[in-house]
């Protein structure tokens, strides 16, 4: 069995890491207000918006990838926007992968955050209000610290889920070395080329990585004891 | 003066209140559960967002129609039924939460004062408020509210989640805080004993409306007072506790002295306090009985005699310093002793305890 990783493998690993980190950061920023809204709104739009956010959990990644490809393409709405802004067309670029992954991993960030926000007793926020804390103050001084375990879970799941995606990447990003060829695609290529040893190295690394991530999550973020 | 008017309708419940209160002392909102006490308190705090209310706190308008001052801009303190401490903050950071959010110049209560009034000296360095007892947590919550230097303190059944012993322990702290902080308090409760021990005036509520507003004296002077439910009529006698002797504590009422079986909490020694005496526990003698095991015998004058229930008479008695005491005796005893209004007799009190 050939040992260790090729330069192409390492490049894929680095690209995957870069993608997952970017997507996780964006999702924490974008997902927090969405989760906060979903957790606390009495609006009748709560159910439909919640369902849209959760769609990627049940949809085949190819379906999501297909529609994203069309919308981000030269004739899609996002495509028009990006062309007007002079950014060009997103599919088959790293930026395109980021946008697609944000949609794809959204529920894995929003749902833990929403659960964490829902678990915050209304009473704690009311107490803060009676102690002169304005709404943003209450959010940062009470809600965020109390939801900290939720943020950890959301970040880990968002990151891990982005690392693990394959279908959407293939639909949107294709297979451009150093740009869109992430680990899952690289493994696919190895297997296609019957380079099982290389595939083993990467796959086993993925198994180890996923296990360690989940182990850390369960160790440092135990479910609340009452 | 605090002037408030609220007209709210929720499914199955309506609040309909027009209330003026002096902005000093303790006002008890008293009534059965579901009478709207808590809702009224939440309205005053701005926690129930309404556009059909009016609230004026002295010279400030807190809300009037669409003009609504949000809770965090109302200079009030709120103590909830459960302490509602911030579990992610230490005891000290909990106490400082409100303190930090008001300008230095507006701070009328200092951390050290609140810690002393509520006896938090050995709790303040604790890091995990969740590990404290219910009574300790509630004392912290009260101190936390006081430290935001409120101009009005709202307390929503602050003792109802505590067990009897914890209640007994916290009451002296509460009394001392009331006397020293000098902030007007609106106190929601359905426990007559808390009203009797703490309140200056009582707002009786029923089904979202105000029945009547009375001073505590007035509320306790009519035999049909809603405060008398369990155990019949009650008198509240004010006095000061003194020394311990013979395993008892002396309690001075005017020039007379009563003896209490239960020790006085250190936090309340020497301060004005209230005794709670059940009318059923008071007997009458025409001459001062000398050979009796009863210790607490006071000279009184009969003010009124009412028949309260079949075969029983309720005597309204006046102590030498003008305070009122009820005695419930049988109608037969009344006839046997030929009791009548204006007669000077002796009240023998079987059991004397602090209101708690």
DSSP letters for B49-84: --SSEEEEETTEEEEETTEE--GGGS-EEEE-SS--
pLDDT per residue as tens digits for the range A88-109: 888 999 999 999 999 999 999 9
CB atoms within 10 A of CB B229: 11
Residue B222 CB partners (closer than 8 Å, separation 6+): none
User: Residue A3 pLDDT > 70, yes or no?
Assistant: no
pLDDT of residue A112: 95
Is A131 close to B98, i.e. CB distance below 8 A? Answer: yes
Two tokens at B298?
């006071």
Distances (CA, A) of B173 to A26, B156, B181, B268: 51, 17, 12, 8
What is the arrangement of strands in the sheet containing B234-245, beginning at the earlier edge strand?
Answer: B256-260, B248-253, B234-245, B272-278, B353-354
Q: How confident is the model at residue B266 (pLDDT cuts 50, 70, 90)?
A: low
pLDDT of residue B317: 94
User: Residue A48 pLDDT > 90, yes or no?
Assistant: yes
CB contacts, 8 Å: A134 with chain B: 70, 72
pLDDT of residue A225: 44
Is B47 close to A126, i.e. CB distance below 8 A? Answer: yes
Q: What is the mean pLDDT of chain A?
A: 91
How far away is chain B from the Cα of A142, in angstroms, using its nearest Cα? 7
Q: At what angle do helices A7-40 and A183-192 cross, to 10 degrees?
A: 140
Half-sphere exposure of B197 (CA within 13 A, CB side): 22
Distances (CA, A) of B78 to A84, A127, B41, B144, B158: 54, 7, 9, 9, 10
Give the long-range contacts of residues B6-10, CB within 8 A, separation 24 or more. B6/B40, B6/B43, B6/B50, B6/B52, B6/B53, B6/B54, B6/B55, B7/B52, B7/B53, B8/B39, B8/B43, B8/B48, B8/B50, B8/B52, B8/B53
Give the long-range contacts of residues B306-311, CB within 8 A, separation 24 or more. B306/B223, B307/B331, B308/B223, B308/B232, B308/B233
pLDDT per residue as tens digits for the range A51-69: 999 999 999 999 999 999 9
Q: What ipTM was estimated for this complex?
A: 0.83
How far away is chain A from the Cα of B154, in angstroms, using its nearest Cα? 10
Closest CA to B140 of B180, B179, B89: B89
Half-sphere exposure of A211 (CA within 13 A, CB side): 6
User: Residue B179 pLDDT > 50, yes or no?
Assistant: yes
A128 in contact with B, Cβ within 8 Å: yes
For each of the domains in chain A, give its residue range(s) and CATH number, in order of start.
Answer: 16-172 (1.10.3720.10)
Of A131, A135, A146, the CB nearest to B97: A131
Number of inter-chain CB pairs under 8 A, A vs B? 66
Of B72, B76, B82, the CB nearest to A133: B72
pLDDT of residue B230: 67
* Cα(B47)–Cα(B70) distance, integer angstroms: 8
pLDDT of residue B286: 93
pLDDT of residue A178: 85
Percent of chain B with pLDDT over 70: 97
User: Residue A123 pLDDT > 90, yes or no?
Assistant: yes
Which run of H or E residues covers position B6?
strand B2-10
CB contacts, 8 Å: A137 with chain B: 72, 101
How far away is chain A from the Cα of B97, in angstroms, using its nearest Cα? 7
Output the pTM of the full model.
0.84
User: Residue A45 pLDDT > 90, yes or no?
Assistant: yes
In three-state secondary structure terms, B312 is: strand
Half-sphere exposure of B70 (CA within 13 A, CB side): 9
User: Residue A110 pLDDT > 60, yes or no?
Assistant: yes
pLDDT of residue B261: 80
User: Residue B3 pLDDT > 80, yes or no?
Assistant: yes
Closest CA to B62 of B44, B88, B84: B44
Distances (CA, A) of B354 to A59, B222, B293: 69, 21, 21
Is A131 close to B148, i.e. CB distance below 8 A? Answer: yes
For each of the domains in chain B, give its residue range(s) and CATH number, in order of start.
Answer: 2-219 (3.40.50.300), 272-354 (2.40.50.100)
Q: Report chain A's terminal Cα–Cα distance, integer Å.
A: 51
Chain B from 98 to 127: CB within 8 A of any A CB: 98, 101-102
pLDDT per residue as tens digits for the range B95-143: 999 999 999 998 988 999 999 888 899 999 999 998 999 999 999 999 9
CB contacts, 8 Å: A129 with chain B: 47, 70-72
B84 in contact with A, Cβ within 8 Å: yes
* Cα(B274)–Cα(B198) distance, integer angstroms: 8
* Cα(B183)–Cα(B138) distance, integer angstroms: 18
Two tokens at B180?
């020293």
pLDDT per residue as tens digits for the range B39-93: 999 999 999 888 788 999 988 999 998 889 999 999 999 999 999 999 999 999 9
Q: How confident is the model at residue A1 (pLDDT cuts 50, 70, 90)?
A: very low
Which run of H or E residues covers position A77?
helix A77-84
Is the CB of residue B223 less than 8 Å from the CB of residue B233? yes
CB atoms within 10 A of CB A130: 25
Q: What is the DSSP string of B222-277?
A: STT-TT--TTS-EEEEEEEEEEEETTEEEEEETTEEEEESSPPPGGGTTSEEEEEE
Please give the average per-residue pLDDT across A159-168, as a whole number: 91
Is the CB of residue A149 less than 8 Å from the CB of residue A116? yes
pLDDT of residue B267: 65
Q: What is the mean pLDDT of chain B?
A: 89
């Amino acid at each position: 069995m050939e040992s260790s990783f090729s330069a192409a493998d390492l490049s894929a690993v680095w690209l995957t890491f870069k993608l997952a980190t970017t997507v996780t950061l964006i999702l924490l920023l974008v997902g927090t207000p969405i989760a906060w809204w979903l957790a606390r709104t009495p609006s009748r739009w709560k159910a439909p918006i919640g369902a849209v956010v959760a769609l990627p959990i049940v949809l085949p990644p190819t379906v999501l990838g297909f529609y994203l490809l069309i919308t981000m393409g030269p004739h899609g709405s996002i495509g028009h926007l990006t062309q007007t802004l002079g950014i060009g067309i997103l599919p088959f670029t790293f930026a395109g992968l980021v946008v697609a992954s944000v949609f794809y991993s959204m529920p894995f960030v929003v749902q833990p955050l929403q659960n964490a926000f829902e678990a915050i007793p209304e009473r704690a926020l009311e107490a803060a209000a009676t102690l002169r804390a304005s709404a943003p103050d209450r959010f940062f001084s009470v809600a965020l610290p109390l939801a900290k375990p939720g943020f950890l879970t959301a970040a880990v799941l968002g990151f891990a889920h982005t690392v693990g995606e394959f279908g959407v990447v293939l639909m949107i990003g294709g297979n451009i070395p150093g740009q869109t060829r992430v680990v899952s695609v690289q493994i696919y290529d190895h297997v296609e080329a019957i380079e099982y040893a290389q595939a083993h190295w990467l796959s086993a690394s993925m198994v180890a990585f996923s296990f360690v991530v989940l182990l850390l999550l369960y160790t440092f973020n135990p479910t609340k004891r009452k | 003066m605090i002037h408030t008017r609220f007209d709210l309708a929720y499914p199955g419940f309506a609040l309909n209140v027009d209330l003026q209160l002096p902005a000093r002392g303790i006002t008890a909102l008293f009534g059965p559960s579901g009478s709207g006490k808590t809702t009224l308190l939440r309205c005053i705090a701005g926690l129930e967002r309404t556009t059909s209310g009016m609230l004026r706190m002295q010279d400030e308008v807190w809300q009037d129609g669409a003009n609504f001052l949000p809770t965090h801009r109302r200079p009030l303190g709120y103590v909830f039924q459960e302490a509602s401490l911030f579990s992610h903050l230490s005891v000290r950071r909990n106490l400082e939460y409100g303190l930090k959010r008001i300008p230095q110049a507006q701070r009328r209560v200092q951390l050290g004062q609140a810690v002393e009034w509520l006896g938090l000296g050995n709790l303040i360095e604790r890091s995990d408020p969740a590990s404290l007892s219910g009574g300790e947590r509630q004392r912290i919550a009260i101190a936390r509210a006081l430290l935001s230097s409120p101009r009005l303190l709202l307390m929503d059944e602050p003792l109802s989640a505590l067990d009897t012993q914890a209640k007994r322990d916290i009451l002296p702290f509460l009394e001392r805080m009331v006397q020293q902080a000098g902030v007007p308090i609106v106190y929601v409760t359905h426990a007559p004993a808390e009203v009797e021990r703490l309140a200056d005036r009582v707002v009786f509520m029923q089904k979202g409306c105000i029945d009547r507003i009375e001073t505590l004296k007035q509320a306790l002077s009519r035999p049909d007072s809603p405060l008398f439910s369990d155990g019949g009529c009650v008198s509240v006698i004010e006095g000061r506790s003194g020394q311990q002797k013979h395993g008892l504590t002396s309690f001075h009422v005017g020039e007379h002295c009563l003896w209490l079986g239960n020790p006085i909490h250190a936090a309340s020694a020497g301060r004005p306090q209230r005794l709670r005496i059940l009318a059923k526990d008071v007997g009458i003698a025409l001459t001062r009985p000398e050979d009796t095991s009863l210790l607490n015998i006071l000279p009184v004058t009969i003010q009124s005699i009412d028949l309260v229930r079949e075969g029983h008479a309720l005597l309204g008695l006046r102590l030498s310093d003008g305070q009122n005491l009820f005695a419930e005796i049988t109608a037969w005893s009344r006839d046997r002793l030929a009791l009548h209004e204006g007669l000077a007799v002796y009240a023998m009190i079987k059991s004397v305890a602090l209101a708690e």
